[in-house]
Amino acid sequence: MKMYIIRHGQTPWNARKCLQGRSDVDLNENGIYLAELTGKALRDVTFDMAFTSPLIRAKHTAQCILAGREVPIIEDERLIEISMYAFRISSLPLKSTDGAVSMIEDERLIEISFGIYEGCCYAEENRQVPQQWIENFFHAPQDYVAAPGGESLDDVEKRTRDFMEDICSRKELQDKTILVSTHGCALRGLLNSIRESNREDYWHGGVSKNCAVSIVTCNRGEKPVLVEENHIYY
């Protein structure tokens, strides 16, 4: 199995350095452009299926990358009715009935929730969150404490690790090439589940750039391998 894990394209809130979290903000023109460039660079990759966060910026990024491949979005009520940790891909189709690539929304790929600070800007000239809190998030994650109503880094790592283990354990996916469209913090959780990084190294050099692609291979019964990290195609 080979996974291409991508962070979504740029949004207006990315450009203004505002915390998006679970806020459903779409790509801006530059974000669409970067996603389309990345899609062109990956045009020779034959994807069998795609998993995406349910947020529009991740879905739109996946659609740009898979443009021209007739990708249907599969609506499955089980993604809504059961908890994010109970979902198992064994209950979902690997292909649509017409043979096109399946694009499946998975709550475990959603971005971290910032609680009461959702939508607040953190740029120095217009900071709307406590300085120490945002510095801990980006530069001292071992000291980060979730905002009221928000999600901890432990929570993010738990659900993204669950996703990675779930995917890698499926016998029917071993010969598949999969696109995974997600977010900056969630992406780090996915990769850290492979690296087994300590909390101090959560960001491992910084937040991935928009549309950065990391490649992971996995054989059933073996640990996944991070082959390439944060490749930029623009």
Phi, psi of 32 (to 5 degrees): -65, -45
**Residue appearing with tokens 């203004």:** 16
Q: Are 25 and 11 in contact (CB under 8 A)?
A: yes
Q: Is the Cβ–Cβ distance between 57 and 26 less than 8 Å?
A: yes
Please give the pLDDT value at position 90. Answer: 39
The three-state secondary structure class of 13 is helix
- Provide the pLDDT for residue 226: 96
Identify the CATH homologous superfamily for domain 2-231.
Phosphoglycerate mutase-like (3.40.50.1240)
- Residue 199: other Cβ atoms inside 10 A: 14
Residue 106's pLDDT is 92
pLDDT of residue 103: 82
pLDDT beneath 50, residues of the chain: 72-99
pLDDT at 70: 65
On whether the CB atoms of residues 60 and 50 are closer than 8 A, the answer is no
- The pLDDT value recorded for residue 11 is 98
Question: For residue 100, what pLDDT is reported?
Answer: 59
Compute the radius of gyration of the chain from its Cα atoms.
17
- Domain range list for the chain: 2-231
How far does the chain reach from its first CA to its final CA, in angstroms? 26
Cα three-residue angle 155-161-165, rounded to 5 degrees: 150
Q: In the block, which residue shows the tokens 């999600």? A: 151
